[in-house]
Structure 1
């Protein structure tokens, strides 16, 4: 059982090693960490991807799925990997009909609630703004949302790590 509160923010590009790093950190801190997945089951292909990820994390992981409101889950005192901010934001973005300001308010509410809970929370995100420029207005709005949400989470984090080519860089 973990006392106190610690938020570790892990970000980087696609296939940069974020999940591996976060999972190894969680296992170094707990013999029974929680893997909290934020993915929504959009279609059967996505359900298959989720199932593969669940099978990858058997013992000693406790798997929980929650699309948006994870701060109220019974995770006090646990080491929790939250994967990932991009999918979490997508759920808010779709449900608010692409309202960036409302999404940011909802994200901040969750993070502030999480900061009040005892435990170690390892939050994985993506730096999508470092890639190609989005072709559509909605894509650009989401990229802006992701960047602002990343800044918000990093501001509240106790530690921040940027993953590059499988290497962790403390930021």
Structure 2
């Protein structure tokens, strides 16, 4: 297990599984570092952060980093790194007025850094594309950008797990299910215009 991606909706069991993985590594004598990306903007978020801290042993190291995920991963000298979470990290980048391309570039760099670690990394993220279509332009942009971020991390993770009701489904590359070979030397017909 080098890079594990845990993706799911709210209260799907992602964080609980990540903490369980951390406890198992800790029990085996492996150092655990928790990289927290959450900004504390209000009382509710402060309560959530405090609850998450209470779930972790005091011996675990914590790095609080809202933006520089590559730098945070570089600080973890050994052991398991848990990143919680890409959902808030992506939001943090958007609030700093980064373009979609800049966010995708930073995400690719962070995913590459995580997958290059010799020791294991567990990354948590939310699937936000299954719910109601967002009413605002910003909401739609966030849904789309996080979807791209999640796809990039899932591409390099092994395993990538979808959490639903505390249970996990392994995610696999859909191209392995295609039974029709795609000829690379045949030109495809023009697609009809959508204008």
**TM-score normalised to the size of structure 1?**
0.88
CA RMSD of aligned residues (A): 1.8
Note if contact 1:75-1:119 (Cα within 8 Å) is conserved in structure 2. no
1:7 partnered with 2:3: yes
Secondary structure of 1:119's counterpart equals coil
Deviations 1:96-137, CA, capped at 9 Å, x for gaps: 25x212111111112222333332110001110011111101
Gaps of 5+ in 2: 172-195
Note if contact 1:54-1:63 (Cα within 8 Å) is conserved in structure 2. no
| Number of aligned residues | 166
User: Shift of residue 44 of structure 1?
Assistant: 4.2
Note if contact 1:9-1:153 (Cα within 8 Å) is conserved in structure 2. yes
The equivalent residue for 1:22 is 18
Q: Which moved more, 1:133-142 or 1:24-33?
A: 24-33
User: Shift of residue 8 of structure 1?
Assistant: 0.2
Q: Which moved more, 1:126-135 or 1:48-57?
A: 48-57
**TM-score normalised to the size of structure 2?**
0.78
| 2-structure distance, mates of 1:109, 1:59 | 30
Note if contact 2:26-2:32 (Cα within 8 Å) is conserved in structure 1. yes
| 2-structure distance, mates of 1:54, 1:25 | 16
Note if contact 1:9-1:161 (Cα within 8 Å) is conserved in structure 2. yes
More relative contact order, 1 or 2 (CA 8 Å, 6+ apart): 1
Secondary structure of 2:132's counterpart equals coil
| 2-structure distance, mates of 1:125, 1:168 | 14
Note if contact 1:76-1:119 (Cα within 8 Å) is conserved in structure 2. no
Gaps of 5+ in 1: none
Note if contact 1:36-1:63 (Cα within 8 Å) is conserved in structure 2. yes
Deviations 1:38-89, CA, capped at 9 Å, x for gaps: 1112234423332232123233422221112132232132111111110010
The equivalent residue for 2:186 is none
Matches within 5 A, 1:23-62: 23-31=19-27, 32-62=31-61
Deviations 1:3-43, CA, capped at 9 Å, x for gaps: xx810000011101111111112222333422211111223
The equivalent residue for 1:160 is 160
